[in-house]
Structure 1
């Protein structure tokens, strides 16, 4: 069973204003409301490729109810801890440019956090847990690390995708894979990466610190996979009209893990992962299985030496 953890989920309001004027009354067109958060994006991609998952985290108020209802409509199971207040709504505003306004959810308390840890008691060695995104107000950085510890104590497989400090502090629990982008990898070690050789140096440092595999996404330059066996593979990206890159990285990670669980084949898993990232980039939402399959022929995976 796949579990996804989204500690700080959101509803994204996607809206457009013609001739926007700051400080004036502006009227939008029809707005779209979509559930968001890295773990939720992963659950959505897994559902699209026929894999079941259960979404965990915190929700509050009518906005939290909306998130649960939308996941239910998609056929995705959830076990969120319900807290006081409201889950945040983020605004994605398109005018002549694109502007994002991210709000803050209500704080959780220690009882909520303890209840969340109790929800992890059902994990077994047959499960994989995606620990993604950032903490919600009311949590401490150590809580994130303790989640990783609890996952490993339960014998489950751990996948981590978060900010630099969260990733670095969880490496001692030997996650199956971490997925920084090129900028984030440099940020982790306070360096500016200027070449593939630089990427290799610091990806391997993550492995030395505990990561089993490292997938470095590079935007238009594709991705590089560093495996636990010492092999290195590169993949290009598919060509198409980009609608939104939101959730592309989450889709890539979800697809990689799911395909590797099926095949134990690193190059094939990377090919599917790159196609899934492209499918989401070319879609209004998370990419569908049909588009992923269509894009596969564009993806070339090569074994490289660095």
Structure 2
């Protein structure tokens, strides 16, 4: 079973306006709301492929109830820890430019965190946990380390989609997959990376540090997958980028959905790239139909 973890989910409230004037009454043209959070995005895309998952994390109040009900309506299982304060609302204002107002989120108590760890302890060798996104300020900075250590002890696989020290500190526990983009990879090693050739030595260092599979995305320049057995380069499909939010989450979900079905790393990589592109070319997260439309454009070659 795949479990996704979103430590600080949100209700994303998106409003479109002709223009936005500070200090004036502004009226929207249209608006939408839906659950936000990287782990939730992974569950949503997995669901597109018919791959079951269970969403974990912390929710509270009327906003938390909205998220849970929304996911249940989409036939996505949940097992959230209930907290006292309301789940946050993030506001995204779309005019000729896009602005965001992101809330801090609820306070997570030691007891809340203990309950989450008890849920993670129940995972076993047939399970996989996706840890995605940032850690709320009210949780210890060692949160990811504590959770992946539990997975390591129980035999559960885990995927980490995070950056900086959060990523570095989980590598000794051998994550099944990590997915930095080329900017995040450069920041990890205090350098600038712009091409697939420059990616490879640093991707291999991440494998040497413990990662089983590493996918590095380079936007329109392609993507690279590296593990102990192979290095693959994928050309990305051509299209108009409408939305970068959720593209990385879609890559993770596409990879896992295909891998669960085929146990083939190259095929999983192909679906990963197509899924990320399908989200980038859409206003929301990708659909299975859009991914399959793009698959023939994903050309993969092995770099020896």
TM-score, scaled to structure 1: 0.96
SS of the residue corresponding to residue 35 of structure 1 reads strand
1:162 maps to what in 2? 162
CA shift at 1:22, angstroms? 1.9
C-alpha separation between the residues in 1 aligned to 2:34 and 2:44? Answer: 11
Q: 1:250 to 1:192 in 2, by over 3 A?
A: same
1:65 maps to what in 2? 65
More displaced 10-residue stretch of structure 1: 84-93 or 256-265: 256-265
Segments of 5+ residues of structure 1 without an aligned counterpart are none
Task: Decide whether the 8 Å contact of 2:196 with 2:222 is kept in 1.
Answer: no
2:240 maps to what in 1? 241
Task: Decide whether the 8 Å contact of 1:157 with 1:176 is kept in 2.
Answer: yes
CA shift at 1:244, angstroms? 1.3
CA shift at 1:194, angstroms? 4.4
CA shift at 1:79, angstroms? 0.6
- Give the ranges of 4+ consecutive aligned residues of structure 1 lying more than 3 Å apart after TM superposition: 194-197
2:264 maps to what in 1? 265
SS of the residue corresponding to residue 216 of structure 2 reads strand
C-alpha separation between the residues in 2 aligned to 1:120 and 1:19? Answer: 46
SS of the residue corresponding to residue 5 of structure 1 reads strand
C-alpha separation between the residues in 2 aligned to 1:86 and 1:190? Answer: 38
1:87 maps to what in 2? 87
More displaced 10-residue stretch of structure 1: 51-60 or 288-297: 288-297
1:151 maps to what in 2? 151
Task: Decide whether the 8 Å contact of 1:272 with 1:296 is kept in 2.
Answer: yes
2:252 maps to what in 1? 253
Segments of 5+ residues of structure 2 without an aligned counterpart are none
Give the alignment's Cα RMSD to 1 decimal. 1.3
1:110 maps to what in 2? 110
* Structure 1 residues 23-51: Cα deviation after superposition (integer angstroms, max 9, x where no partner): 21211123100111110000001100000
C-alpha separation between the residues in 1 aligned to 2:86 and 2:161? Answer: 25
Task: Decide whether the 8 Å contact of 1:106 with 1:137 is kept in 2.
Answer: no
CA shift at 1:143, angstroms? 1.7
After TM superposition, list the pairs within 5 Å mapping 1:142-291 onto structure 2. 142-229=142-229, 231-291=230-290
TM-score, scaled to structure 2: 0.96
Establish whether residue 141 from structure 1 lines up as the match of residue 144 from structure 2: no
SS of the residue corresponding to residue 280 of structure 1 reads helix
C-alpha separation between the residues in 1 aligned to 2:208 and 2:73? Answer: 42
More displaced 10-residue stretch of structure 1: 18-27 or 67-76: 18-27
C-alpha separation between the residues in 2 aligned to 1:289 and 1:90? Answer: 27
2:291 maps to what in 1? 292
